[in-house]
Every structure is written in structure tokens, then in C-alpha cells.
């Protein structure tokens, strides 16, 4: 008698991203809205892995179900000195707070230090690259408490710059912060606790919404970003 052997793929659960066993029972039910996931990105082997960051769809098709967190862009602004000044200082104003004078030929670290000295800003909230001035523009990237937010464009004063020809300082928004996603996928709620094999229908799954997370062990394309760290910081402890 002929005996046919049938094989099936075996999937090994990997929850190494869970930094502590404490809180492993802190889950609640949800339904994954399959059309929101992309095969080659979110489940290349046929399984949506545990640890992927998910958000609740709040409107439109799939409302009240969950999909992959879409991320939220963080603000980037560019500061450009024109007119070739040879001396003096300029200032930057962010949300009504003005820096001390910044030298016309400042380095990126000097611009960062000036902004970080503002009362509402810390060194973890911004990163500055480019420079030194006046020949090379500065790129100010907002992170930390500004992650994923639409930050009001800074203004600049060049009144104290000297030399050159009509020196000025211009600020432009290179990348607007925030998201235009209106369905809720830009607001993370937690992590998929158990991996799920993808079929043709939406999938019931447990949402892990509180605990300790080992960020470096989250699956590829988990969606975790600075905005997620900021939004979920009250519910999760994030470790490297």
C-alpha cells in the first residue's frame, strides 16, 4: 500500500522581545484586519510575528479592528545663513523661547547646545547636523518629546550678524511632523502577543498592552519608532 507523506511548515514562537515575565497575562482580545497588512513586509513567511506593533483602526473600512502601526514622521527643519557674514551672532526662537546668541560660524553641536538650553527642551529632544556656518546649513531633527509631532517652525533673528552682504538666517521645514493618516494606524496601542498564521479572513489575536519590552529583539519591520516610544512610555518599560 502506498503511503503519502504530507509535510507542513512548523513555526516556532519567538517572544524574546518580552523583557520580563511579569505582565505576560496583561493582554486583551482584538481582531487583526488582514487587508491592512502587506505580505512582503509584515508576514513574508506566512505568519504575522509576535512583537509587531499594532494600532486600532478608528474609521472607514476595518474600523475597530487592528492593523500594523503606520508610524508618524518627526519634524525636521533646516537653518540656512545667507549673505556671507564674517562675524556676530544669530538667535533661534522655538515656541516663544529664544536662544542665546549663536556664533555665525557655529558648529552643529553649538546650535544643539543653544536649543537644548531652552526651558522646554532637553538634549534628548533634538539632534543637529550640518554646519559649520555660515557656508553649510544646519539640519535640526526633533525627537524625544517632539517625536511624531508637528512642531511649529522656528524663527530666526540675524540682527547681530556682521559683515557680508545683507546677512540673514532662514528657517524652512524639510519634513513636517505628525501624520496625515486619519484612520488611527498612526497611534500605537501595543504589541501582538502571539504570532498568527495568515489565511483569507481577519484574525482574532491577543494584544499585549503593558509590560517590559526588549527593543533590540523586536521582529524585523516591527514598526517601533521614537513616536511609539513616546506614546507608549506610560504603559511600557523599554530596554535595549
Q: Is the dihedral of CA 199, 202, 203, 205 positive or negative?
A: positive
pLDDT surpassing 60 at residue 119? yes
Q: What is the pLDDT of residue 3?
A: 52
**Burial class for 211, CB neighbours closer than 10 Å (0-12, 13-18, 19+):** buried
pLDDT mean across residues, the chain:
91
CA–CA gap between residue 228 and residue 53 (Å, rounded): 9
The owner of cell 506610560 is: 234
The owner of cell 472607514 is: 60
The pTM of the full predicted model, rounded to 2 decimals, is: 0.76
With contact defined as beta carbons under 8 Å apart, do 101 and 90 qualify? yes
CA–CA gap between residue 211 and residue 238 (Å, rounded): 9
Q: What is the pLDDT of residue 182?
A: 73
CA–CA gap between residue 117 and residue 100 (Å, rounded): 9
Arithmetic mean of pLDDT, 92-113: 98
Peptide bond into 97 cis (omega under 30): no
Percent of the chain predicted with pLDDT > 90: 78
CA–CA gap between residue 114 and residue 56 (Å, rounded): 39
Going by pLDDT thresholds of 50, 70 and 90, the confidence category of residue 2 is: low
Arithmetic mean of pLDDT, 65-76: 93
Amino acid at each position: 500500500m502506498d503511503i503519502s507523506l504530507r509535510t507542513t511548515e512548523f513555526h516556532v514562537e519567538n517572544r524574546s522581545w518580552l523583557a520580563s515575565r511579569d505582565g505576560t497575562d496583561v493582554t486583551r482580545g482584538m481582531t487583526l484586519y488582514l487587508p491592512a497588512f502587506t505580505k512582503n513586509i509584515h508576514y513574508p513567511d506566512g505568519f504575522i510575528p509576535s512583537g509587531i506593533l499594532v494600532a486600532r483602526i478608528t474609521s472607514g473600512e476595518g474600523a475597530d479592528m487592528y492593523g500594523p502601526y503606520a508610524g508618524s514622521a518627526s519634524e525636521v527643519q533646516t537653518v540656512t545663513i545667507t549673505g556671507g557674514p564674517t562675524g556676530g551672532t544669530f538667535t533661534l526662537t522655538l515656541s516663544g523661547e529664544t536662544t542665546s546668541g549663536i556664533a555665525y560660524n557655529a558648529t552643529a553641536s553649538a546650535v544643539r547646545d543653544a536649543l537644548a538650553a531652552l526651558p522646554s527642551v532637553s538634549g534628548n529632544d533634538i539632534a543637529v547636523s550640518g554646519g559649520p556656518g555660515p557656508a553649510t546649513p544646519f539640519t535640526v531633527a526633533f525627537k524625544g518629546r517632539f517625536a511624531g509631532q508637528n512642531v511649529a517652525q522656528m524663527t530666526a533673528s540675524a540682527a547681530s550678524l556682521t559683515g557680508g552682504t545683507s546677512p540673514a538666517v532662514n528657517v524652512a521645514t524639510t519634513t513636517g511632523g505628525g501624520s496625515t493618516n486619519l484612520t488611527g494606524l498612526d497611534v500605537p496601542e501595543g504589541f501582538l502577543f502571539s504570532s498568527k498564521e495568515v489565511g483569507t479572513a481577519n484574525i482574532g489575536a491577543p494584544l499585549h498592552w503593558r509590560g517590559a519590552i526588549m527593543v533590540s529583539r523586536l521582529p524585523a519591520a516591527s514598526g517601533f519608532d521614537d513616536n511609539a516610544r513616546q506614546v507608549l512610555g506610560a504603559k511600557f518599560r523599554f530596554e535595549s
